[in-house]
């Protein structure tokens, strides 16, 4: 298929959405078939892009019909468990598999289920199920950000009934399909969220800092996140050194999907400030890339910083569910 037709299909999927299969009501095992990715299509020996060193990548196909739409990512500090959520309200838990060289080669022991609503029933409709970001809180619970009907819910576990969390006062002003895509929690319980499209001033989008308050509430303040034309943040992770990494995505029919991997210091994250991240790497064809929306950061066995990136295929057969692993060069 030529590139123009492919990018047209990507645009249709991103704007209109491809109808996904029905939600899975109960937790189920899922078999994930993995095929290896190369970092650069026209140079199979390539191992570096920008400041990122290739540690392996896979294209994934799941045995359940609702496998896909993966919108965010969490990996445990020991790199033993990967958790992801779908923009159709599903969750995925699996164990990363590595070869003798520490290269990512697959996922095993995988299972899936469906997030529940405040009534305890599994979420079925797209406006309710559009989970775009999540983060693990210090007590082990999960904070999930939904768009279309913008809100934050806290899940004691992914199989539990959630509790609503009062978000920033202007959370509802975000564009319907341009809400919180980037979400992270610090060790002290502080939550950082960045909107994909909500902007108060040119060349920025709005972010919020939530300081834990009494009764499970947060005291919210806002900051600005500087953007380039076409690029918008889709993921946020706390690096092992305490700084932050983000993914930024751009798309058009001529150039296709482009991704910037970014970093900024924690010291710049202040109420009223403008965060101006630095670019670590840029992923665009012929490098491996797709609709990357999830990001996690861990340490490797030698103390190196690892970055995990996952894509949302929009349940479109012309897109891919890919998982990529990089080491951040010193």
Per-residue pLDDT of the chain (330 residues; tens, 9 = 90+): 333 334 444 444 444 444 555 555 579 999 999 999 999 999 999 999 999 999 999 999 999 999 999 999 999 999 999 999 999 999 999 999 999 999 999 999 999 999 999 999 999 888 899 999 999 999 999 999 999 999 999 999 999 999 999 999 999 999 999 999 999 999 999 999 999 999 999 999 999 999 999 888 999 999 999 999 999 999 999 999 999 999 999 999 889 999 999 999 999 999 999 999 999 999 999 999 999 999 999 999 999 999 999 999 999 998 999 999 999 998
For 109, how many CA atoms within 13 A lie in the half-sphere containing its CB? 8
Q: So what's the pLDDT on residue 10? A: 46
Q: How far apart are CA 109 and CA 92, in angstroms?
A: 11
Q: So what's the pLDDT on residue 253? A: 86
* Domain extent listing, the chain: 3-328
Q: So what's the pLDDT on residue 110? A: 98
Q: In which order are the strands placed within the sheet that holds 70-75? A: 28-30, 104-114, 90-98, 82-86, 70-75
Q: So what's the pLDDT on residue 20? A: 53
Could you please state the CATH topology (level 3) that the domain comprising 3-328 is classified under: Neuraminidase (2.120.10)
């Amino acid at each position: 298929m030529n590139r123009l037709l492919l990018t047209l299909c990507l645009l249709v999927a991103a704007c209109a959405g491809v109808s996904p299969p029905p939600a899975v009501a109960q937790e189920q095992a899922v078999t994930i078939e993995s095929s290896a990715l190369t970092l650069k299509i026209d140079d199979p020996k390539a191992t570096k892009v920008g400041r990122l060193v290739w540690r392996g990548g896979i294209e994934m196909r799941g045995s359940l019909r609702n496998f896909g739409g993966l919108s965010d990512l969490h990996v445990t500090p020991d790199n033993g468990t990967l958790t992801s959520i779908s923009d159709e309200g599903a969750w995925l838990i699996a164990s990363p598999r590595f070869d003798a060289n520490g290269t990512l080669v697959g996922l095993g022991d995988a299972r899936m289920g469906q997030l529940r609503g405040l009534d305890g029933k599994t979420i079925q409709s797209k406006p309710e199920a559009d989970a775009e970001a999540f983060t693990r809180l210090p007590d082990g619970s999960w904070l999930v950000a939904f768009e279309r009907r913008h809100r934050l819910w806290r899940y004691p576990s992914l199989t539990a009934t959630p509790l609503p969390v009062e978000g920033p006062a202007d959370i509802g002003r975000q564009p319907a399909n341009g809400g919180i895509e980037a979400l992270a929690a610090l060790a002290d319980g502080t939550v950082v969220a960045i909107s994909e499209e909500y902007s108060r001033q040119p060349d920025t989008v709005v972010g919020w800092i939530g300081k834990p308050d009494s009764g499970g509430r947060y005291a919210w303040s806002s900051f600005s996140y500087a953007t380039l034309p076409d690029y918008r943040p889709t993921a946020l992770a706390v690096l092992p050194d305490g700084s932050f990494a983000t993914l930024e995505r751009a798309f058009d029919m001529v150039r296709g999907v482009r991704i910037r991997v970014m970093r900024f210091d924690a010291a710049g994250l202040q109420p009223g400030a403008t965060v101006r991240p630095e670019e670590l790497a840029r992923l665009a064809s012929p490098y491996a890339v797709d609709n990357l929306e999830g990001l996690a950061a861990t340490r490797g066995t030698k103390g190196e910083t690892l970055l995990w990136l996952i894509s949302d295929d929009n349940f479109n057969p012309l897109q891919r569910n890919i998982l990529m692993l990089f080491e951040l060069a010193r």
